[in-house]
Structure 1
C-alpha cells in the first residue's frame, strides 16, 4: 500500500517544481486522483504531460500499489486560468 504523501513525493522527485494534490477516491489507497501543476508541461501535449507523471509513478503502478489514477495536468498559466473560472 502507498500513502498519498509518497505519491506526491514520487511526482515531485520527477517534477521538482510541481504543485500536487492527491486524493484517495475509494478509501482503499489504490484508486487515486491527482492534480499536477508544473512548468515542465509547457509546450507539451496532454499525452506527454500525463506520460511525465506516469513515468514518476511507474514503479508504484507496476506493483499495483496504485491500481487506477485519474490525472489532471496543468501548466501554471492554465491552472491560473482554470482557477479564475467560477
Structure 2
C-alpha cells in the first residue's frame, strides 16, 4: 500500500520541526517521492548521516509503504 504524501510530510515535520520541507510525488503513485529538507539539525553533519536521520524519521516505512525517496538535505546557509 502506498504512503500518502501527507503522511510522509507529517513524519518529516515531526522529526524536523524547524525545517523547510518540500515533497514532490515523482510518479503520481504515492510510491516515488523527492524530498528537499533544509534543517538546522543537519549543520556540521555529513550527507550520509543526514540521509540516515531522514530514514530513521520514516520509522521503517522505507522499502515497504514507501518504495523510493530521492533526498536532498542541507543545513540553512
Question: TM-score under structure 1 normalisation?
Answer: 0.81
- Any gaps of 5 or more consecutive residues in structure 2? none
Residues 1:68 and 2:72 aligned together: no
Structure with the largest fraction of helix: 1
The answer on 1:34 being equivalent to 2:59 is: no
Point out the structure with max Rg over C-alpha: 1
In the other structure, the counterpart of 1:10 is 11
Post-superposition, which runs of at least 4 consecutive aligned residues in structure 1 deviate over 3 A? none
Number of aligned residue pairs: 76
Q: Is there any run of 5+ residues in structure 1 with no aligned partner, and where?
A: 78-86
- The answer to whether residue 51 in structure 2 is matched with residue 50 in structure 1 is yes
Superposition deviation, residue 6 in structure 1: 1.2
CA deviation vs aligned residue, 1:33-76 (integer Å, no higher than 9, x gap): 100010000010001111111110133215x1100110000111
Question: Given the two structures, how large is their TM-score scaled by the length of structure 2?
Answer: 0.90
How big is the alpha-carbon RMSD for the aligned residues of Structure 1 and Structure 2? 1.1
